[in-house]
Structure formats: structure tokens, C-alpha cells
Amino acid sequence: MTYLPSYWYNIVADLPVPLPPLLDPPEYESSRIAQLTKILPSRIIDEEYTLNRLIRIPEEVRAVYRKIGRPTPLIRAEGFEKALGVHRVVTIYYKYEGALLAGSHKLNTAVPQVYYAKTDGASEVVTETGAGQWGLAVSMAAAMLGVKAAIFMTRSSYLSKVSRRIAMEALGAKVIPSPSRRTKTGKNALYRNAHHPGTLGLAITEAVEYVLASPYRRYVAGSVLESVITHQTVIGQEVLHQMPEEPDYMVACVGGGSNMAGFTYPAIGMKLRGEGFEKTKFIAAESAAAPRLSRGEYRYDGLDTGLVLPLAKMYTLGREYVPPPIHAAGLRYHGASSSLSLLRKLGYIKAVAYEQEEVLRAAILFARSEGIIPAPESAHAIKAVIDISHKAPKGSVIIFNLSGHGLLDTDAYESICNELVTGEISVFND
């Protein structure tokens, strides 16, 4: 049978300096850290704090991994190289996480978290979602494992990503636009702005408040927590087995950091241990609407807007930051995972930020040359690859993570396709 990892890789064991721990916000008497036991599945808390390099993947989870399409393919992007005019100058590969049943990498952690919640005796899992990739993954994992799901979806996405909302509902999930009237935080936000577009930070606070109202609910996190991003390392471990040679560049988009971490950490770990990847550059592609790694501050900040969760040390734009409602809604989070932030601070990762229009053009060029419509989030990595491929020395190898497909994101491509049809623009920037 084809290779499927037996362990998740925990980079915390190999970091050159200790990872700054989660802290309690000083303004509250009750401990947010102690409260995590009522919010998260118990195994997630264990994994959050472990210093073990390898965490065994339960066999039940591995069985579902096979069912959802792991291992995913690593594909040579020859058509894209030709479209860019760099064929035989640089070589481009992509790891295609859109091949998973829910269409993105998010299932890699949805499955173990829902499994852990169920083994704790929970009957409902609760979360937030932006564009809906994470919400869809949770809805699918919940349907597969036989628990209920409640999804707080940022209002701007609830209104624009109708197909994904309906897909979640078809799978049996309850989808609630955030801010909502179900929680104190939601009501306060709506009182301040009746047309609040919602943010991921706010939707997290709502989801956690909702969990705390019943002992049979557990919160499942889409990104940022170390345990969660560790689950994504199945991506990078498979890449180590699949790639024909060590790349010069590894590129991924960043929201909270989970696909970038999952894709690169097994390689960065080898670099940290002096076992390879000396020359490889690791590039994080963000949205200019939420450029936390490129332009944020490195400091302690709330994981969520309402401070129901602890503080983490990370690059942040501030937990109150409300990014404009872009199509790549999954990149609108204010911060990035602690370990990714630390690696950025130490210079192991470089960050670039792009505007929406140039990203969508990159996506269309990729779609027309490779036959895959990328998720708008993943398209940020594609734009970065285009820039790198034009500057990289001859013979360079670039591998990027195509974190999801965009077949349910056609709203993002509507106006650009109309303009292409009428000849108002071309896919190239000239």
C-alpha cells in the first residue's frame, strides 16, 4: 500500500529556543488556560503541551485518512511552467490537498479532533469558519464519525459562500451567521454595528461561548493551535517521500498557519536538526488585507477577539482588527500560530503579501494551464510561485502547497471571468 504516515511531527521538540507558552489574559480573574479542559477535547490539550517529537496517529484516524483520499498527490506543473514561460528553466511541483473529499487540507485535523471529541463523550462539535472550507471539513468528519456539528460562519461569507453553507447543511450541520444573537459576544457586536461582516476572531469567541453552555459540546479549532497544525504534518511527511529532489523553495499561503506548517515543518525540522534542506527557502504568502507575518507585531495577543481563549505569542494585527471582506476569507485571521511566528522571527520563514486582484489573475492562469480551479486562499501561494519563478536561478525547483480547490468559490471568480470574456483584462498584468 502507498505510504501514509503513522505519526504526526511536533516541531516544538526541535525548535532552537523554547516555544513561548500560552498565557492567561491579566484582566480576568478566572484562568482561560484552566478553562480549556471544558472547551477542547482532552487529547488536544495533551498534544498542545507535549514536547515529544512524534505523536502516534490513532489507527481509527489513519483508516479515515485513507477513506478521505490520503496520501494526496505531488504533481509536476508542466502546463503552468509553460504558461509562465519558465519551462526547462525552473521546475514547479504542487502538493494537491484539494484532492481530499472536502476539497482542502482542513480534513487532516477535522478527523482527529472530531474523533477525540467523540471519545470524550461529546455529542456535538462546534467551530467557526470563514469561507467555509474548515466548516465543511468539520461537517464531513462529524457526519462520518456520527456526532452533531454547529458552525459559526462569518456573516460576509455566510452571505457570499452559499454553496459551501448548503453543503454543510446537507451534511447535517447547523450553520449560524456570526455575529449572531445566540451569544453575548455576538449580541454586543451587532449592537455596535448591525451590519458587522464578522471576523474569525469574533466567530471563535461565539463558538467557545456556545460550547461552555453545555458539557456535551467540544470546540474544534481550524488552525493556529500547535496540536492542530501538528496534524497537518501528514502533508509534509508525504512530500518528503514523493519529491524527486530537495527543492530550492517551498511555498504556501498563510491564514492561521496550518497548511504552511503542515507542508513545511517536516523539512524545516530536518534543517533544524542539520539533516538536510540547507538551501531551501520557506515562503509564506499572505493576503495584503491581513498581512500579520509581513506587517504585524510579534507579541502576546488573544487567540480570539473576546478573550475567552488564552493569549499566544505570535505575529498579530491585533485581535480587534477587522479585515475587509475578501474572497480568501480563510486568510482573514488576525494572527498566526506561535511556532510559525517564532520561525518567522528567527528568520527561517520569509513572508510576502498580495492584493486580491493579482491573486485571482494568478489563479485563473493556473486553472487554464493545469485544469484545477484553486481556492482563493491557495491562490496566494500560486502568485508567490509566479514571482519566484521569474527571479529564481536556472535549474531551481519550487514546490508549493495547493491547499484546496475553488469549485465552491465561483463567486470569487465571477467578476474576473466576466472581464476576461469581454476582453477588458488579460490574465497577465500588462
Ligand X SMILES: Cc1ncc(COP(=O)(O)O)c(C=O)c1O
Residue choice 375, 388, 392, 412 for contact with ligand X (CB under 6 A): 375
Site membership for ligand X, residue 256 (CB under 6 A):
yes
Q: Is the separation of the CB atoms in 41 and 218 below 8 Å?
A: yes
Given the complex with ligand X, which of 131 and 386 has the nearer CB atom?
131
Please tell me whether residue 330 binds ligand X under the rule CB under 6 A: yes
DSSP state of 253: E
**For ligand X, which stretch binds (CB under 6 A), given 108-116, 235-243, 252-260, 301-309?**
252-260
Going from the C-alpha of 202 to that of each of 136, 150, 180, 335, 336, the distances in angstroms are: 19, 15, 10, 13, 16
Residue 104 near ligand X by CB under 6 A: yes
Question: 255 or 325, CB closer to ligand X?
Answer: 255
> Does 331 engage in binding with ligand X (CB under 6 A)?
yes
CA atoms of 16 and 21, how far apart (whole Å): 15
Q: Report the distance separating Cα 418 and Cα 430, nearest Å.
A: 18
Closest CB to ligand X among 177 and 392?
177
**Cell output for 65:** 485518512
Contact 47, 2 (CB under 8 A): no
Query: Is the CB of 314 or the CB of 392 nearer to ligand X?
Result: 314
Nearest-angstrom CA–CA distance, 136 and 98 = 13
How near is the Cβ of 254 to ligand X at its closest, in Å? 5
Say whether residue 403 binds ligand X (CB under 6 A): yes
Site track for ligand X across 58-97, x = CB under 6 A? ----------------------------------------
Work out whether 258 is an interface residue with ligand X (CB under 6 A).
Answer: yes
Q: Under the criterion CB under 6 A, does residue 287 sit at the interface with ligand X? A: no
Say how far apart CA 384 and CA 374 lie, in whole Å. Answer: 14
The contact pattern for ligand X, residues 196-235, with x = CB under 6 A and - = no contact, is ---------------------------x------------
Q: How far is the CB of 45 from ligand X (least distance, A)?
A: 20
Is residue 236 a contact point for ligand X (CB under 6 A)? no
How far apart are the C-alpha atoms of 97 and 377, rounded to whole Å? Answer: 12
- Residue of 117, 308, 105, 326 lying closest to 203 (CA atoms): 308
Secondary structure percentages of the chain, helix, strand, coil, to 5: 45, 20, 40
DSSP, collapsed to helix, strand or coil, labels residue 334 as: coil
Separation of first and last alpha carbons in the chain: 48
Identify the residue among 167, 377, 397, 400 touching ligand X (CB under 6 A).
377
| Residues found near ligand X in the complex (CB under 6 A) | 104, 130-131, 133-134, 223, 253-260, 330-331, 375, 377-378, 403-404
